[in-house]
Chain A
Amino acid sequence: MSGERFDAVVVGAGPAGAAAAYTMASQGLSVVMLERGEFPGAKNMFGGVLYRHALEALIGEAWKESGLPVERVVTEQRYWLLGPESVVSIGHRHARFMDPPNAWTAFRARFDPWLAGKAKAAGALPVYQTTAIDLLRDPATGRVTGVLVDRDEGELYADVVVIADGVNSLLREKLGIPRWKPHQVSLAVKEVLALPREKIEDRFNLEGNEGVTIEFLGATSRGLTGLGFLYTNKETLSLGIGVMVDDLLRRPIAPYELLESVKQHPMLHKLLHGAETVEYSAHMIPEGAWHAVPQLAGDGWVLCGDAAGLVNFVNREGSNLAMLSGQMAGEVIVEARRAGDLSAQRLMAYDRRVRRSVIGQDLRKIRRLPAMLHRWGGERLFDHLVGAINEAAYRYFLVDGTPKRQAEAEALRHVVRAAGGWRGTMRLAWDALRGVRG
């Protein structure tokens, strides 16, 4: 392997790296795809929602062939605002989400090998159980010319290095891009819980391979800025919660204890009881949005997926943005090679393409949200406000002889008080609106 030269070296066989490798190999480029795991996906976890759109943009109708390793088709999505013993929920179920599927639930240790297999079939050379530990550079120009891997004499040379090594990208730091700050990342823990198929279908009101997603916030994060999820698989449930790392430093709590207490919440307990933990996992999510996205290309390199912070945490989209960015990187490299110009300037076309695309537009739209969440704080938003919304709903629905006008005023008062009076409510509403509307 040593000293061999390729058109491109791709570091990481997650959705971003596999997409880049697939795109380039399909166009005849010689590509090596490195993965440090025993197999692609061995090191990876996610909540579990996989979107068809990005997959189809990448491989077309090929996803329809039998063997796409997914669990259920997501036909219903719910949002839960949790008080200590209550819930205010909104949800949407639509038969049209079924065909064609808008999204599936899935497992990374099954999906990633499948996608990486597509890249291999297109001609990419997979090299697994191998970690890229440094970038090789041209001593004269500083141009990135390859990677050093943790095998004997492991130098791999390439015209372009595609850095798709995920949120813990050590290689991006070798480019001089600063390490994430605790307020730009969240830590998520997850459990896969086994439950018989009939129980799942019963409890979630499902038929066949229909599936439900629930995102929840409020009492379950114990005053930290955090979001939880509960997704249905065929014969398991995926339950997880993520909290901002800076919050975790301010109010230390062991993540596994947080997850245990989530399971005890009466609303979740109803759906989970009797289920047995079959896997525990943890991972970080980059949540800095637009302002945390660094330059995406340079002399001999491009940066894709989580390594670049391309995650829309509001809509829990990451794997799809990873695939889209990997594909865009692959396309730009193919074009650059055809034009015989692999200069940094030319590769910067990838940076522009990502920023103009749906990825850039969506991340720009939520650019104010991280600061907004920070300003208001998890305790006020997730504990007090969500708690007050639950109290308000209780007051609203309770029939105890109170005249409606008075009951409604009381309900409203709960929320206004939690937001810090009328002035606070107005400010919060304005901030929240700007946070999500851009």
Chain B
Amino acid sequence: MSSRAAVEKKLFTIRYRADRGSHITLADPARCMSCERPCLLFCPAAVYQWEDDHMRIAYENCLECGTCRIACPSGNVVWRYPTGGTGIAYKRG
């Protein structure tokens, strides 16, 4: 199984309530062009996906762990919480 498929299967186990819009944006999308893009790997939900020449942010899958805020080397991630009541809801945790 490809790693993308593997994580997608895992993400199916979590319940989400989608927010109206993305709670994650990039301060300067151009910065990702010249970055080694560690976020493609370290994000535990594979939210960051590189598509040819730009970053796609699948915010609906975000586990709200906050790592990308801390780990993006150029501080490019503008991150807030999804609106109260939306986002992930664990059944066990």
Contacts and interface: CB of A to CB of B under 8 A. Distances in A.
B13 A278 contact: yes
Contacts of B26: none
B93 A254 contact: no
A282 interface: yes
Interface residues on A, range: 35 or more
B63 to A, nearest CB: 4
Contacts of A281: 14, 63, 90, 93
Interface of A: 36-39, 41-46, 107-110, 112, 128-131, 133, 149-151, 167-168, 170, 179-182, 185, 187, 189, 191-192, 236, 245, 248-249, 252-257, 260, 277-284
Contacts of A189: 44
B13 A284 contact: no
A256 B10 contact: yes
A109 B3 contact: no
Interface of B is mostly: loop
Contact of B63 (A191, A252, A282): A282
Contact of A45 (B80, B84, B90): B90
16 contacts: A42-B88, A108-B93, A109-B90, A131-B83, A182-B71, A245-B42, A245-B70, A252-B41, A253-B41, A277-B10, A280-B11, A280-B13, A280-B14, A281-B63, A282-B44, A284-B67
Most-contacted residue by chain B among A182, A185, A249, A252 (CB, 10 A): A249
A245 B71 contact: yes
Interface residues of B, number: 35
B81 to A, nearest CB: 5
A179 B92 contact: no
B3 A283 contact: no
Contacts of A283: 63, 65
B73 interface: yes
Contact of B85 (A41, A128, A245): A128
Nearest to B1: A260
A283 B7 CA distance: 16
B70 A182 contact: yes
